[in-house]
Amino acid sequence: MTWELALRAVIKALVLSPGLFVVLLLLAVLAWRSFLGRFMAVFTAALLYLASTGFGAGWLARGLETYPPLDPAQMPNDVEALVVLMAGRQTAAREYGDADTISRLSMDRLAYAVALHRRTGLPLILSGGRAGAEGPPLAELGRETLERLFGLEPLAIEAESATTWENAQRLGELLDGLGLARVVVVTHAWHMPRAMLSLEGAGVNAVAAPTYFISGTDHEPQWRDWLPSAGHLADTSYLLHEYLGGWWYREFGG
């Protein structure tokens, strides 16, 4: 892992949940004798509660999930392939003989891309490298999953990128080499703005096909939305990561 990736990992661990709440609570303990310290403790507890609820996660998601679901029946006629942006791995999975496999996030995207493939017949392209990890690139793991679970072979894979920005840059080169002018890009709904920003910056003509929406169509909160859960806290972490990543890309590029 390069020092840039290591630094990014440390920063993300400290500014995203749950690391953010751990840092705030430690600061509150250090300043406990003062009014500020006690206020920080109560404030952090309130933030942690909201971040763990469907209401809090949904509220954050609405600022990111700005691309609507794609209707395959209304897909532009000049689209030539489906591009899947892979996302994370499960390292040394015991049930697969201690071999690496794709993460749940990658499976979310891959499964939806397969569903679109079944309806449109468009070929699949997988994008994702090692991102500082040992073992096969994500795109190669995705290829293995496609073959094992769905009996499909991708048209091509891009296996050198470590970030969303690099996904876009490498895909631009790959698509030019394949002679493909316009593609559909599949990723999570909350990741789509950063993905499209990166693709546009790389000159890739892409149609958004988001999956796994956190925000619902009904914005009226239900009683269940106020119950804390680990799943909502994980969603909040992804969302905060996207807000931070989107700001970084707009200000500094990749």
Q: Is 236 exposed, middle or buried (0-12, 13-18, 19+ CB in 10 A)?
A: buried
Report the pLDDT value the prediction gives residue 219, as an integer from 0 to 100.
Answer: 66
Q: Spell out the domains of the chain, with CATH numbers in brackets.
A: 3-64+227-252 (no CATH), 72-211 (3.40.50.620)
> HSE of 227 in the Cβ direction (CA atoms, 13 Å)?
5
pTM of the model: 0.91
Identify the CA nearest to 141 among candidates 154, 171, 195: 154
CA separation for the pair 32, 29 (Å, rounded): 5
Report the pLDDT value the prediction gives residue 2, as an integer from 0 to 100.
Answer: 65
Per-residue pLDDT of the chain (254 residues; tens, 9 = 90+): 567 767 777 877 887 878 889 999 999 999 999 999 999 999 999 999 999 999 999 999 999 999 999 998 889 999 999 999 999 899 999 998 999 999 999 999 999 999 999 999 999 999 999 876 678 999 999 999 999 999 999 999 999 999 999 999 999 999 999 999 999 999 999 999 999 999 999 999 999 999 999 997 666 778 899 999 999 999 999 999 999 999 989 988 86
Q: In sequence order, what DSSP letters do the residues of 58-120 get, joined into one string?
A: HHHHHTT--SPPP-GGG--TT---EEEE---EEEEEGGGTTEEEE-HHHHHHHHHHHHHHHHH
